[in-house]
Amino acid sequence: MVIQNDTIQKQLDFPEDFSTTFSSILVEKTKNGLMIGSKFSNYCYFFENDTFIKRNLDVNNTIIQNLSWCNNKNWLCTTSGIIEIDRESGSKKELFTGTNISYIYKTKNNNFWISTLTEGLFYIEDFNTKLISSNESLTSLIFKNEQLLAGTKDDKIIALDDNRFHLIYNGKDNHQMGQLFYDEPSGKLFFTSSKFRILDANRKLSKELAIAVKNIASIDAKYIAFAASSNSGLFKTNEKTNSEWDAVFSSFKDSSTSDYNNIILNAKGKATAYDNIRKIIYYATNNGLFYIGQKGLLTELKYKNASLNVTKLSFANGIIYACNGDLRLFRIENNTISEIDFPTNIQKGNVEKVILKNELLFIVTNKYIFDYSLNSKKLKRIIHINSNIEVNDVILKDDSYYISSNRGLIIKKQEVYNRIKPTFTIEAVKVNNQTADALKLNDLTYDENNIQIAYRFLSPTPFEEHELLYRINESQWQKADILNPELVLNSLNHGKYTVEFALNSDFKNTTKIQFTINRPFWLQFPFIFGVSLLILAFIYWLYRNNIKKIEKRNQLVLDKINLEKNVNQAKLKAIKSQMNPHFFYNALNTLQSYILSNEKKQAVDYLSKFSNLTRTILEMTEKETVSVKEEIKTLKLYLDIEKARFEDDFSYTITTDTAIDTDNIKIPSMLLQPYVENAIKHGLLHKQGKKELKIAFNLNNDVLKITLDDNGIGRQKSTELNAIKNKNHNSFATAAMQNRIELLNQYTHKNISIFFIDKTNPLKQSLGTTVVFEIPLFY
């Protein structure tokens, strides 16, 4: 009967055999009605549109144990296998022949479970996945129009037709077939084994060359680009047509061959790709990444000012993609390079091979093959592979993956659904073997420090291997035992804890559990504060009188020291501030004399030197000490300026003992310059004939000896002349420097001394003056 809305609409009679031979009835729905079967009959009925339609099943010597409807098909579960029936097409397929099948069930993840009475449960990931076995170990794959071609490890090329392989080329070198490339305009097949060979459109070997081509990219109807072990360039595929690349081919053409040219020589070519939008060919070599346009200019493309070494190139949608041996990924658009992140949930150490095709990077690990879109950054898992399967190449065409391996060809439909992720939940938390609630976890005593976290993991797909990581308080991630559903943390110290779990390195979706273990009472603040307060009070009471006396005495001493230091520093700064105007006054007089008396010289040069000297002196006045090297530099600058005044009759020398570390030995700033100035102005200026000034730096037992020696008129004669010119003359610099040296000796506890030696001949005539400085070393 037919019932609708709890009302009997119609009552139909069963076929006659229902009460005789058609016994032990099984019923299952179909797309448009019901399927009715019998355990012991080799036919069934389809009930559609109020009609029973008989269908011969053509099954013998078996018992139908169950009917199932899944994947839009009817299934017969029998004692000798399972039968798939497609009602619409009328097709029938037998699977697991000889196995006692009790039921088949399809999961939400579009996988299948098959229960058996003798062999347990079968898990089928996908009935659409095929393995086409081959006696040959397959390597490279290529589609020639709609026909799949595969290379082998023993120098053969085979073609797939009607799910069977047949031979189209049999080489004699027993060499692994490398790259395969089908050139659609010419209909030629280019491949590399021991040599680079070409099959014409009739699958006849038309040419072979002794070059090891690694990769090929199509350019146009006349040329292909190739990258080989020792050279890279363009290969001509058609003699009868013209191309925009003819000029480039001719400019790099070698007279020894007419088939190809050598754009790059003496470099190991790894890969090539062609940007057909911008008309640019890229070559990846061991010397870097190069590109060439139709103007014929070969240029290296660098990344962060360094050569980019990549091993794989591809082109898709106006973008060049690249990959190197360290699994670094790059995107090149309009010759601008940016880096693409490698999938974080794949450990690089587990990667056995990567295959770059267009914008897709196929990642082969020790357990899975992944499809990673370099454009969308989406990662898909294609298939689980056993450890005895060696994957060599992957192609995606018409929503199907074609995978070459040592076991044959695997064909896997591209999934259009999202896989259900495994679930991870924390079941309970035990404290000292007692289950604790969430409120209790935030207030644990110091001895409640043995924590057990029980968790549950459920994967919708069997045989999948997952990795569970955990960390405590932002520490390093550690691997947890996913098969042992408990994490034990014993003898924890007091403090706040956050235990975080991440499944399959998904660090964005983690599971956390938090708890707090309080300090023991003797480590808590009130107890520590009270005890500390008592101890401090006792110390204060015991030593308060002595501390006051010591503080008062120390303050008096400190005040006296600070006062003396401040007085000495004030005196030094005052003297130095007086010296600087005096020096500049003398220097400006020298400059004025130079300009008035020597108009032939370029005043600009003199002013430049004077400005440098002025700046140097101003800088030195800010320093308490300067290095010997700095002092010599300043003296040379000053003496060079003064030397110009005397035409060619003035000369000076500065000598330094080799034992003196001029960079690190220090002397008081502005110490020598006033004396050098006096030697020139009062000693040498009034001398007739050659005027000489010698400055010497010597080291004697940690004492720096500086000698200023001139052959001037002497101090006595200079004093007489000054008395005539200026009756009120007073040598400010000399007196100031003497006063400064006395203060320096008091302040630094150094014994700096100055000696004046009046040189005379036997007739008591002056031969000049020598000034000697003895300075204990300043560092």
Q: What is the pLDDT of residue 3?
A: 66
Q: What percent of the chain has pLDDT over 70?
A: 89
For residue 577, pLDDT over 50 is answered with: no
pLDDT-based confidence at 578, cuts 50/70/90? very low
Residue of 297 and 456 predicted with greater confidence: 297
Lowest mean pLDDT among 19-28, 529-538, 724-733, 753-762: 724-733
More confident residue, 667 or 7: 667
Domains of the chain: residue spans and CATH: 2-127 (2.130.10.10), 131-345 (2.130.10.10), 423-522 (2.60.40.10), 565-776 (3.30.565.10)
Residue 705 or 594, more confident: 705
Q: Which of 111-120, 277-286, 527-536, 590-599 has the lowest mean pLDDT?
A: 590-599
Mean pLDDT of the chain: 86
Is the pLDDT at 575 greater than 50, yes or no?
A: no
In whole angstroms, how far apart are CA 563 and each of 370, 566, 569, 573, 744? Answer: 80, 5, 10, 15, 16
Give Cα 461 to chain centroid, integer Å. Answer: 35
Provide the pLDDT for residue 499.
93
Helical axes 525-597 vs 603-621, angle rounded to 10°:
150
pLDDT of res. 284: 98
d(CA 264, CA 369): 35
Q: Tell me the torsion sign for CA atoms 344, 348, 349, 352.
A: positive
Q: Which of 334-338, 623-627, 756-760 is least confident?
A: 623-627
DSSP H/E element including 605: helix 603-621
| The pLDDT of residue 523 | 78
Q: How confident is the model at residue 307 (pLDDT cuts 50, 70, 90)?
A: very high
Distance CA(205)–CA(188), nearest Å, equals 10
Whole-prediction pTM: 0.57
How far apart CA 704 and CA 773 sit, in angstroms, is 8
- Write the pLDDT tens digit of every residue in 671-701: 888 888 888 888 888 888 898 999 999 998 8
Burial label, 510 (beta-carbon count in 10 A; 0-12, 13-18, 19+) = middle
Q: Two tokens at 612?
A: 């440098």
- What is the predicted pLDDT for the residue at 574? 40
Least confident of 272-281, 417-426, 536-545, 645-654: 417-426
Can you give the pLDDT at residue 354? 96
Q: What is the pLDDT of residues 62-107, one digit of tens each?
A: 899 999 998 888 999 999 989 998 888 878 888 888 889 999 998 8
Per-residue pLDDT, averaged over 760-769, amounts to 88
Which amino acid appears at position 572 of this protein? L
**H or E, element range at 592:** helix 525-597
| pLDDT the model gives residue 571 | 45
Q: Which residues contact 257 (CB under 8 A, 6 or more apart)?
A: none
pLDDT digits (tens, 9 = 90+) for 719-742: 888 777 765 555 545 666 777 777
102 by Cβ neighbours in 10 Å (0-12 / 13-18 / 19+) ranks as middle
> For the chain, what's the residue count?
779
Which among 58-72, 578-592, 593-607 has the top mean pLDDT? 58-72
pLDDT score recorded for residue 76? 93
Tell how far CA 222 is from the center of its chain. Answer: 41
DSSP alpha helix (H) spans, 622-731: 628-645, 673-678, 715-725
What pLDDT does residue 564 have? 59
Predicted pLDDT at 342: 94
Residues in Cβ contact with 52 at an 8 Å cutoff, skipping those fewer than 6 apart: 14, 15, 36, 45, 46
Most confident range (mean pLDDT) of 197-206, 551-560, 663-672 is 197-206
> What does the angle CA 70 – CA 371 – CA 107 come to, to the nearest 5 degrees?
20
> What backbone phi and psi angles, to 5 degrees, belong to 284?
-100, 125
User: Residue 286's pLDDT is what?
Assistant: 96
Q: Is 449 helix (H, G, I), strand (E, B) or coil?
A: coil
Report pLDDT for 192: 95
CB 387, CB 370: distance < 8 Å: no
What is the model's pLDDT at position 572?
A: 52
Percent of the chain with pLDDT over 90: 41
User: For 351, how many CA atoms within 13 A lie in the half-sphere containing its CB?
Assistant: 19
pLDDT > 80? residue 321: yes
pLDDT value at position 557? Answer: 78
Residue 588 or 458, more confident: 458
What is the sign of the dihedral through the CA atoms of 189, 190, 193 and 194? Answer: positive
| Residue for token pair 């395969």 | 180
pLDDT value at residue 601: 59
Nearest to 359 by CA among 373, 341, 371: 373
Least confident range from 92-101, 111-120, 593-602: namely 593-602
Tokens linked to 370:
């992944």
Six-digit token pair at 504? 């399959």
DSSP letter for 622, please.
T
Written as one letter, the residue type at 2 is V
Q: How far is CA 559 from the centre of its chain?
A: 59
Range with the poorest average pLDDT among 292-301, 598-607, 686-695? 598-607
Which stretch, 252-256, 401-405, 456-460, has highest mean pLDDT?
Answer: 401-405
